[in-house]
């Protein structure tokens, strides 16, 4: 599984990455977390508001900071 955090490095983007790592750890699943900070690559996903969360190339959330429990629900 590949989890991508789309964002330019704002505090919410960093917190979303942290929450994603916590969710993955708590679920005990194998996943790679990648950070995408380049605006052109973020736009390629059709995302207009960051932070955004992408799971296996599917945008599952954009424009909001999800909690670790929210992310766990999306990963299951």
Question: Rounded to whole angstroms, how far apart are CA atoms 1 and 14?
Answer: 20
Answer for the pair 17, 53: CB distance below 8 angstroms, yes or no. Answer: no
Q: CATH number, domain at 62? A: 3.40.30.10
Domains contained in the chain, number: 1
Write out the catalytic residue numbers.
10, 13
| pLDDT the model gives residue 60 | 98
Identify the helix (H) or strand (E) that includes residue 41. helix 39-44
Q: How many CA atoms lie within 13 A of 20 on its CB side?
A: 27
Task: Tell me the per-residue pLDDT of 13-70, one tens digit each, with 9 for 90 and over.
Answer: 999 999 999 999 999 999 999 999 999 999 999 999 999 999 999 999 999 999 999 9
Domain that holds residue 70: 2-75
Percent helix, percent strand, percent coil in the chain, to nearest 5 = 40, 25, 35
Answer for the pair 8, 60: CB distance below 8 angstroms, yes or no. Answer: no
| pLDDT the model gives residue 12 | 96
């Amino acid at each position: 599984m590949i989890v991508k955090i789309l964002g330019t490095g704002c505090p919410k983007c960093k917190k979303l990455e942290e929450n994603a790592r916590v969710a993955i750890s708590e679920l005990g699943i194998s996943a790679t977390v990648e950070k995408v900070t380049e605006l052109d690559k973020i736009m390629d996903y059709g995302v207009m508001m960051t932070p955004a969360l992408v799971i296996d190339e599917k945008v599952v959330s954009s424009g909001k900071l999800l909690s670790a429990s929210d992310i766990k629900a999306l990963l299951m």
